[in-house]
């Protein structure tokens, strides 16, 4: 990190930092975190007064930019009436309204919404639903989830087991993780045949096929097409298992549509949402099930109930924020903004293709990713972006941007140009291939 020498860090940094255990961070060697004191629009305001253009939208959440007054107002009003009540035995209008609206956004009969408080938990709930739906029908053999190389579905023990086996933490955690079935996405006929052969052997053990549709995010911004999803739908139907779309990253506007299921016409049995659900203000997630999944739990037998209930499930503040976020999707041209960002990303990143050290450039919706041959010094790359006034958080071999869909034209231009120029510079420094 570069910091002007005249700047004295605020007291809270020195007093608290030693006690903060940071995410994905070798605490001993990593550069210190940047202290943020305010957010506005697509900007982060640092303690020393600098402003960074945010290319990450706070882990893909802040789709309407920061501090949107409509969301702030909705949360404030909810705070005054009822910040929280437990959801066991009680219910409330913000949750009921949000569930109805989410069901209306989803295609087909994806009508039954289970709320939780993080994406990982939403995925675990989806996995649990799929396994228990089979159990409730008397099929005790379907206990496995089939997931894909390149995938990312969360950091909890159950979700680590369905992440990419190499990029994920399978090797490190070894036998501590459940053994799931990991395959290649059926991107072409050859891989489709391999998946079919796998399912011919293992299909009777599979409760659900789990996929991030169209873009695998944290696993490397890997992209596939709707035909791949159609193959998964057909395979799930042939082998009697469910299909789960983890839309936590790609749903709610990021790809220029409210849901990939709706945009592609490939309708899964369960969808998970989180990240942009509250427009980047509160923790909230949803697992949305189709009628036939719900019906597997609908019974006179109490043991057929879904036995799950996070303490802060359907938190009214978070539901109010999510309802306000959906208002904004209805009132403002968010999806058109995502498509305009896509155009600008394609134009701005295209010149990188084929440059030294650049392996690939990928754009889909408001996601632009540059894959380098390798990144030798991640901290140096991060610092180079900060020096350009940009907040971009590369990982693995990838530098990417996923800006707020409301980002101002000037800031977007700076972001795309900065991603391109810094990537080109770092790529060139890797030397000839
Ligand atoms: C971020 C993410 C998750 C995990 O969400 P958390 O809220 O971090 O637990 C799961 N699936 C996908 C596709 C994600 O991008």
Ligand 1: distance of its center to the CA of 7 in Å?
36
pLDDT more than 70, % of the chain? 98
Reduced to 3 states (helix: H, G, I; strand: E, B; else coil), residue 402 is coil
d(CA 120, CA 274): 9
Position 14 confidence tier, pLDDT thresholds 50, 70, 90 = confident
Contact residues for 162 (Cβ-Cβ < 8 A; gap 6+): 123, 127, 145, 147, 151, 153, 180, 182, 210
Ligand 1: distance of its center to the CA of 425 in Å?
31
Residue 331: what pLDDT?
98
Position 430 pLDDT exceeds 80: yes
Position 433 confidence tier, pLDDT thresholds 50, 70, 90 = low
**Per-residue pLDDT reduced to its tens digit, 399-427:** 999 999 999 999 999 999 999 999 999 99
**Per-residue pLDDT reduced to its tens digit, 106-149:** 999 999 999 999 999 999 999 999 999 999 999 999 999 999 99
Ligand 1: distance of its center to the CA of 249 in Å?
7
Is 410 noted as a catalytic residue in this protein? no
d(CA 394, CA 371): 10
Position 44 confidence tier, pLDDT thresholds 50, 70, 90 = very high
287 forms beta bridges with 114, 272
d(CA 25, CA 27): 5
Residue 174: what pLDDT?
84
Residue 15: what pLDDT?
84
Q: Give me 344's structure tokens.
A: 């600008």
Position 13 confidence tier, pLDDT thresholds 50, 70, 90 = confident
Q: Name the least confident of 165-179, 193-207, 378-392.
A: 165-179
Contact 252, 277 (CB under 8 A): yes
Candidates 24, 59, 123: which one to mutate for ligand 1, based on the most atoms within 8 Å of Cβ? 123
Position 42 pLDDT exceeds 70: yes
**Per-residue pLDDT reduced to its tens digit, 80-114:** 999 999 999 999 999 999 999 999 999 999 999 99
For helices 316-331 and 93-105, what crossing angle results, to 10°? 40
DSSP result, 283-342: --EEEEEEHHHHHTT-SS-GGGS-----TTTT-HHHHHHHHHHHHHHHHS-HHHHHHHHH
Pick the catalytic residue from 11, 24, 301, 410: 24
Is 246 noted as a catalytic residue in this protein? yes
Contact 205, 232 (CB under 8 A): no
Residue 6: what pLDDT?
63
Pick the catalytic residue from 144, 275, 382, 400: 275
Average pLDDT over residues 159-167: 94
Position 182 pLDDT exceeds 50: yes
Residue 1: what pLDDT?
45
Residue 168: what pLDDT?
77
Residues with CB under 6 A from ligand 1: 118-120, 123, 152-154, 212, 217-218, 246, 248-249, 274-275
Position 7 pLDDT exceeds 90: no
Ligand 1: distance of its center to the CA of 167 in Å?
15
**Per-residue pLDDT reduced to its tens digit, 54-63:** 999 999 999 9
Residue 169: what pLDDT?
80
pTM: 0.97
**Per-residue pLDDT reduced to its tens digit, 216-274:** 999 999 999 999 999 999 999 999 999 999 999 999 999 999 999 999 999 999 999 99
Residue 11: what pLDDT?
81
Position 2 pLDDT exceeds 60: no
Average pLDDT, the chain: 96
Give the atom of ligand 1 at the shortest distance from the alpha carbon of 154: 4
Contact 335, 256 (CB under 8 A): yes
**Per-residue pLDDT reduced to its tens digit, 300-323:** 999 999 999 999 999 999 999 999
């Amino acid at each position: 990190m570069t910091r002007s020498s005249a700047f004295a860090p605020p007291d809270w940094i020195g007093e608290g930092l030693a006690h903060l255990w940071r995410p994905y961070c070798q605490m001993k060697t990593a550069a210190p975190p940047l202290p943020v004191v305010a957010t506005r629009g697509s900007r982060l305001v640092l303690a020393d007064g600098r402003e960074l253009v945010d290319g990450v939208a706070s882990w893909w959440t802040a789709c309407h930019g920061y501090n949107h007054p409509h969301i702030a107002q909705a949360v404030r009003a909810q705070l005054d009436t009822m910040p929280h009540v437990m959801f066991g035995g009680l219910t409330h209008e913000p949750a009921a309204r949000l569930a109805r609206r989410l069901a209306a956004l989803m295609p087909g009969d994806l009508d039954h919404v289970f709320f939780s408080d993080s994406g990982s938990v939403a995925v675990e709930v989806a996995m649990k639903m799929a396994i228990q739906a089979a159990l409730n029908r008397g099929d005790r053999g379907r206990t496995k989830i089939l997931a894909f190389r390149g995938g990312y579905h969360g950091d909890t023990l159950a979700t680590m087991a369905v992440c990419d086996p190499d990029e994920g933490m399978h090797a490190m955690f070894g036998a501590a993780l459940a053994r799931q079935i990991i395959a290649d996405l059926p991107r072409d006929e050859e891989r489709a045949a391999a998946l079919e052969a796998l399912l011919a052997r293992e299909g009777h053990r599979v409760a659900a096929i789990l996929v991030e549709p169209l873009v695998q995010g944290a696993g490397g911004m890997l992209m596939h097409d709707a035909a791949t999803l159609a193959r998964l739908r057909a395979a799930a139907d042939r082998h009697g298992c469910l299909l789960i779309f983890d839309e936590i990253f790609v749903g709610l506007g990021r790809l220029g549509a409210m849901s990939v299921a709706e945009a592609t016409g490939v309708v899964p049995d369960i969808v998970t949402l989180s990240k942009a659900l509250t427009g980047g203000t509160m923790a909230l997630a949803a697992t949305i099930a189709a009628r036939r999944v719900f019906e597997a739990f609908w019974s006179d037998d109490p043991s057929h109930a879904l036995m799950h209930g996070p303490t802060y499930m359907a938190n009214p503040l978070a539901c109010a924020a999510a309802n306000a976020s959906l208002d904004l999707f209805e009132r403002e041209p968010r999806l058109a903004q995502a498509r305009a960002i896509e155009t600008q990303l394609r134009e701005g990143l295209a010149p990188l293709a084929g440059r030294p050290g650049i392996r690939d450039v990928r754009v889909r919706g408001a996601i632009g990713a540059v894959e380098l041959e390798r990144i030798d010094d991640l901290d140096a790359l991060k610092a180079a972006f900060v020096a350009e006034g940009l907040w971009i958080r590369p990982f693995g071999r990838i530098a990417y941007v996923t800006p707020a869909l409301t980002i101002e034209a000037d800031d977007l231009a700076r972001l795309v140009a900065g991603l391109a120029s810094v990537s080109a510079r770092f790529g060139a420094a890797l030397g000839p291939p």
